[in-house]
Structure 1
Amino acid sequence: MASENTSPGTQPALPPAESERHASWLELFFDLIAVAGVAQLAHLLHGTPGAGDLGFYCLLYLAFWTAWMCFTTYGNVAADKVHTRTVLIGMFGLAVMAAAVPGVRTDHARAFALAYVLVRVLASRVWQHRGEVVADWPIAQLSVGVVPWLVSLWAEAPTRYWLWTAGLAVDLGLTFALSRNRILARAQEEWEERAAVHERETGPRPAAARFDARHLDERLGLFTLIVIGESVALTVEASSETEWTSRLGSMAAGSFVLLLALWALAVRRSCGVPLLGFGVLAPRFALPLHCVSTGALGALAASLGGAVEHVEERLPAGMRWLMCGSVAVFLAVGLVAGVISGRGARWALGAGGPMVVVPILLGAFAGRGSPSVLVWALVAVARWPWLYEKLDTRRTKQGTAPA
């Protein structure tokens, strides 16, 4: 994990703490509530979604994921000092957001926005008396991005959606615009100013909060695993309401194997982000990759459920692009993560490039094939990185073997 240069008056960047701590039952319960919202969001892409539907899904998913991550950060740093009541209130807020999704375009939009504001404010308040600065993921502590959401309570569509977008953009912008040392230095300056005014120390001097790297990797992996499980559940639900034929059997088997292949890339040997090694990236760079990859999995779940309903006919273009595009985005994250994890340019060209380009080509030219054939083609794409590494290992052994 790369460290930034320290400036005068700041503390040097500390490596993330590591322990044998695992996710608690409370944290697992919290994750289930969050993914229940993801399942609700997947229904926004039901049928033949257009560009507007996809954009709306991305907006709401980012809000859900941000709210979840704020409390995940709190649990990761606070460990056994977490206030259970605070987490339970946050869970209730996420549950309200999830319940509001079906009517979020109409009369439930204000309930969704209000629940988001309360969750974010509650998540930021837990740090006030801890004397810690979440310099690696400032969204968890800053609440300035909540202001547009609060204003949206008095706005109508589509203005309210633009306000939501602006609020999330402010959060992300501050996260990447402000360096770790700058955030910490600013917090210490404010503490010194308060101490000078009151002529005494006002609480502990701010220090950088340290992430538990192994615990964070586990939480990210569990969230990804639960999203994949929701994809299986949506496919099973759609299959139970469709006449069982040989094409449906092929489609169902292909969907399961495809999700299994994506699970192998993201969870089996990675930290919830496809092909990203453990502890390779700082949280402020690893967490956005996790958001994008799990969001793609949620969209894929919607497309697989819709494909089951069209198993005996051609897949509508919008649904085909949603399926192929979701896989392409997920594997594009894997390409970036694989290169960052040290797989090199040769791997990027031989394995990473095809697994991103081929799904796009399938989306453009596979309109005449059956949905089951398309799914099995995507299975081959998702398994290509594994096959490439097997072949590359075999070539290396043959090249170094004695004559």
Structure 2
Amino acid sequence: MSSDPEGPATTPAETTAESERHATWLELFFDLVAVVGIAQLAHLLHDDPDRGDLGLYCLLFLAFWTAWMCFTTYGNVAASKAHTRTILLGMFGLAVMAAAVPEIDSDHGRAFALAYVLVRFLASRVWQARGEVVVDWPTAQLTVGVVPWLVSLWAETPTRYWLWAAGLAIDLGLTFVLSRNRLLSRATEEWQDQHGKRERPSRTRPVAARFDPRHLDERLGLFTLIVIGESVALTVEAASEAEWDGRLGTLAVGSFVLLLALWALAVRRSCGVPLLGFGVLAPRFALPLHCLATGALAALAASLGGAMEQAEGPLPAKVRWLMCGSVAVFLAVGLLGGALSGRGLRWVLAVGVPIVAAPVVLAAATSGGYPGALVWILVVVARWPWFYDKRVVRAPVADRHT
């Protein structure tokens, strides 16, 4: 039973077999708060963004996603024993981070860093009493990468941003450098040293934390779905402030259909990572792909909002490259996901490579065109995997049965 006076994050009725678990209302609430922060980040890419704006967006998005993933890991492993109060405190930390984004270059940046540090320490602390080692996603438990964030509290921009980047790079590096066996062995040695000194161990012998893969797939898919929903909301907001005419209508409908096409690749029969089947990759490899895909979706939302303001054309070069580049990154993750899911070399050459190359070619070759036309071409590119599977692959099968 949970020692949290406010009770566990889930009720006993929700404690079913691992394969039957679903995201709780509290987990959904947590996801919504995280996506609010991501929506704030999308505003960094409005008004003709430059490389600095894009770099800051990527940095802050990775910070939000990392904080979200730390608590998602905790909820996944702890299940009905997850403490409600702990998750609510993490939610409040993410809300502070979101509120700090608009004035991130000011002292609000220190508030952002402090909230991130506290969220990470809170997420790490829950594992001490559990006696488990998160071998599949060590970032949830290790806090070495938080040190540069602490130092940044006394730094000014742009040094502050470089320290944040260094901290996130340490987290990612440790995730891939430290193997499962090494993490578990080191934790066991520390426990044995404490036990050998005849001190009372602070916890039981450490064991590897076990992910519930189906629950994790659901959380990743729901997060992606919420990001797409927020992208639709941002696009609608931008369209509501523009002058309504035929070209805006063409662009608005095309933007909605484009987001639907990307939803179909990432959520339908997938775990939130485009074209990656369920349970194909271990978490430490699947999660970075999820981060890339959702980051690209949020950046696409910003570019679509900018396009609404330029519906009469031509689209500014930076907005055009942001739009096409976001789609290219998302579909590049899909290329990798499809290849790892066993679709074969023929699919990679006929589908994967073209859908990644096409947006880049469009960005370079469509200067001076109308945004609506560009968006509809991107719709065709995003639907090519579906068309290939339905018309090219299945057509010979149908012919053999006639």
Residue 371 of structure 1 is matched in structure 2 by 371
Residue 36 of structure 1 is matched in structure 2 by 36
Q: d(CA) in 1 for partners of 2:303 and 2:59?
A: 18
Within 5 Å, give how 1:172-187 maps onto structure 2.
172-187=172-187
Q: d(CA) in 1 for partners of 2:391 and 2:397?
A: 10
Q: Give the drift of 1:400.
A: 3.5
Counterpart secondary structure, 2:359: helix
Q: d(CA) in 1 for partners of 2:73 and 2:37?
A: 19
Residue 261 of structure 2 is matched in structure 1 by 261
Deviations 1:217-262 (A, max 9, x none): 0000000000000110011001111111000110000000000000
Matched, 1:243 2:243: yes
Matched, 1:341 2:341: yes
Q: Percent identity?
A: 75
List gaps (5 residues or longer) in structure 1. 1-16
Q: Give the drift of 1:268.
A: 1.0
Q: Give the drift of 1:399.
A: 5.9
Deviations 1:20-60 (A, max 9, x none): 11000100000000000000000000021111111110000
Residue 391 of structure 1 is matched in structure 2 by 391
Q: Give the drift of 1:369.
A: 1.2
Counterpart secondary structure, 1:70: helix
Counterpart secondary structure, 2:135: coil
Counterpart secondary structure, 1:342: coil
**Mapped contact 2:313–2:368 kept (Cα < 8 A):** no
Residue 311 of structure 1 is matched in structure 2 by 311
**Mapped contact 1:195–1:202 kept (Cα < 8 A):** no
Matched, 1:117 2:111: no
Counterpart secondary structure, 2:242: coil
Q: Give the drift of 1:199.
A: 5.4
Q: Give the drift of 1:19.
A: 1.8
Residue 84 of structure 2 is matched in structure 1 by 84
List gaps (5 residues or longer) in structure 2. 1-16
Q: d(CA) in 1 for partners of 2:315 and 2:204?
A: 60
Deviations 1:105-150 (A, max 9, x none): 1221000000000000000000001011000000000001000000
Within 5 Å, give how 1:281-320 maps onto structure 2.
281-320=281-320
Q: d(CA) in 1 for partners of 2:142 and 2:297?
A: 28
**Mapped contact 2:128–2:203 kept (Cα < 8 A):** no
Within 5 Å, give how 1:58-69 maps onto structure 2.
58-69=58-69
Q: d(CA) in 1 for partners of 2:105 and 2:46?
A: 15
**Mapped contact 2:134–2:141 kept (Cα < 8 A):** yes
Q: d(CA) in 2 for partners of 1:30 and 1:62?
A: 17
Structure 1: which 4+ aligned runs deviate by more than 6 Å? none
**Mapped contact 1:77–1:212 kept (Cα < 8 A):** yes
Matched, 1:154 2:158: no
**Mapped contact 1:62–1:291 kept (Cα < 8 A):** yes
Q: d(CA) in 1 for partners of 2:396 and 2:278?
A: 25
Q: d(CA) in 1 for partners of 2:60 and 2:381?
A: 29
TM-score, normalized by length of structure 1? Answer: 0.94
Aligned amino acid, residue 26 of structure 2:
L
Q: d(CA) in 2 for partners of 1:359 and 1:70?
A: 33
**Mapped contact 1:273–1:289 kept (Cα < 8 A):** yes
Aligned residues: 386
Within 5 Å, give how 1:269-288 maps onto structure 2.
269-288=269-288
Q: d(CA) in 2 for partners of 1:129 and 1:190?
A: 15
Q: d(CA) in 1 for partners of 2:322 and 2:200?
A: 59
Residue 206 of structure 2 is matched in structure 1 by 206
Residue 45 of structure 1 is matched in structure 2 by 45
Counterpart secondary structure, 1:127: helix
